[in-house]
């Protein structure tokens, strides 16, 4: 992307723009790359699991790895994350184990939420990773509430919330942006503009020229960034999170990217977009682009070996998770009441006795 208003770091010639380079070390950049490759391998395996009937549903992120991994790397200890359902990479970068993520989509006893959530709805309070929500953009007001609480407590933390372009059409988006602007809250709104809200192209979602310019109405800075450039994402989100922690308020970031696959495993994108369009974006694959940069710096030796290693890691995680037993029926009566009410106890006993 050559638009001067779009922040980019990786140049077409394979070098990095020193004016915007986030200055990561070689081991840090190799870690970013490996997480992107792992995320792609997890994505491909999860879709295969759904197609073979081993899980019920999945929301893939192929093509958007730079967004998830770059944004997740900018989060510091103490920060909170309110993610969208496509951002498994943010969870992985936060430290949510791959094995737990696989367990969550299976919903057996290897799942921390014990099969009580839809697939893709992972969470872990211990690492400040709030549960994914199915409704579009409902996580944005939640993020603002957490930021408001942090400000009242005098905590120097930032809150990251992620969503798609369709989220900017909701009332929750505007309420969250307005509240953040008025109260100068430490929230980073990270919008992954992948061009479609399921089947609706972004041009049919808004009359504004860009999504980032919506920030101006609420007194926030709006930033546009190349969403297939992991170093640019790291730079944009990192700067916004630093600004939030410093008490300078929120930021809206619009990352321009593309969802190469379906919206979910229930979607067929071939009915609303052309093969030519998808092929053109495959040429901008964020993983291949970053691999070329790292090879040029002699940081990465063998991309094929890295991909094979990632697939094996995912295979082992799936094998382990699938060996876990199903969640027992009795668990549906647990974790709500400290002492189960009599009428629920009767229902539990009836169910478990086989008479229910």
**Half-sphere exposure of residue 40: CA atoms within 13 angstroms, side-chain side:** 23
Q: Measured at the alpha carbon of residue 126, what is the angle toward residues 121 and 127, in degrees to the nearest 5?
A: 75
CA distance linking residue 206 with residue 63, whole number of Å: 23
CB 222, CB 249: distance < 8 Å: no
Q: Write down the catalytic residue from 216, 272, 288, 337.
A: 272
Q: Measured at the alpha carbon of residue 58, what is the angle toward residues 55 and 59, in degrees to the nearest 5?
A: 175
Q: At what angle do helices 230-245 and 286-296 cross, to 10 degrees?
A: 90
* 218 included as an active-site residue: no
Q: Measured at the alpha carbon of residue 174, what is the angle toward residues 173 and 178, in degrees to the nearest 5?
A: 120
Residue located via tokens 């140049």: 11
**Sequence-distant (≥ 6) Cβ neighbours of residue 116 within 8 angstroms:** none
CA 146 to each of CA 41, 79, 176, 189: distance values in angstroms, whole numbers, following the listed order: 33, 10, 11, 13
* 263 included as an active-site residue: yes
Q: Write down the catalytic residue from 128, 142, 263, 289.
A: 263
* 156 included as an active-site residue: no
Active site residues: 259, 263, 272
């Amino acid at each position: 992307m050559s638009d001067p208003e779009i922040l980019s770091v990786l140049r077409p010639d394979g070098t990095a723009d020193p004016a915007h380079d986030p200055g990561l070390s070689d081991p840090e950049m190799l870690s970013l790359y490996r997480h992107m490759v792992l995320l792609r391998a997890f994505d491909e395996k999860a879709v295969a699991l759904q197609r073979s009937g081993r899980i019920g549903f999945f929301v893939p992120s192929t093509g958007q790895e730079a967004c998830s991994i770059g944004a997740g790397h900018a989060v510091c200890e103490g920060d909170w994350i309110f993610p969208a359902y496509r951002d498994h990479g943010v969870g992985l970068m936060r430290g949510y184990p791959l094995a737990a993520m696989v367990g969550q989509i299976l919903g057996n006893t290897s799942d921390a939420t014990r099969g009580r959530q839809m697939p893709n709805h992972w969470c872990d309070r211990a690492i400040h990773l709030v549960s994914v929500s199915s409704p579009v953009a409902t996580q944005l007001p939640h993020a603002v509430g957490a930021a408001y609480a942090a400000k009242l407590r005098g905590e120097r933390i930032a809150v990251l919330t992620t969503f798609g372009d369709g989220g900017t059409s909701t009332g929750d988006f505007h309420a969250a942006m307005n509240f953040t602007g008025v109260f100068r809250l430490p929230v980073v709104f990270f919008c992954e503009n992948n061009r479609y809200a399921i089947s609706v192209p972004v041009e049919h979602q808004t009359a504004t020229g860009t999504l980032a310019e919506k920030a101006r109405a609420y007194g926030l800075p709006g930033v546009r960034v190349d969403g297939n450039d992991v170093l640019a994402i790291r730079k944009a989100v990192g700067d916004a999170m630093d600004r939030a922690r410093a008490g300078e308020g929120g930021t809206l970031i619009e990352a321009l990217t593309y969802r190469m696959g379906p919206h979910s495993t229930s979607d067929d994108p071939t009915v609303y977009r052309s093969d030519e369009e998808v092929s053109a974006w495959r040429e901008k694959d964020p993983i291949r682009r970053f691999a070329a940069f790292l090879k040029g710096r002699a940081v990465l030796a063998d991309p094929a070996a890295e991909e094979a290693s990632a697939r094996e890691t995912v295979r082992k995680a799936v094998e382990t998770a699938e060996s876990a037993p199903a969640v027992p029926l009795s668990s549906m009566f647990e974790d709500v009441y400290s002492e189960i009410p009599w009428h629920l106890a009767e229902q539990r006993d009836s169910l478990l006795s086989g008479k229910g």
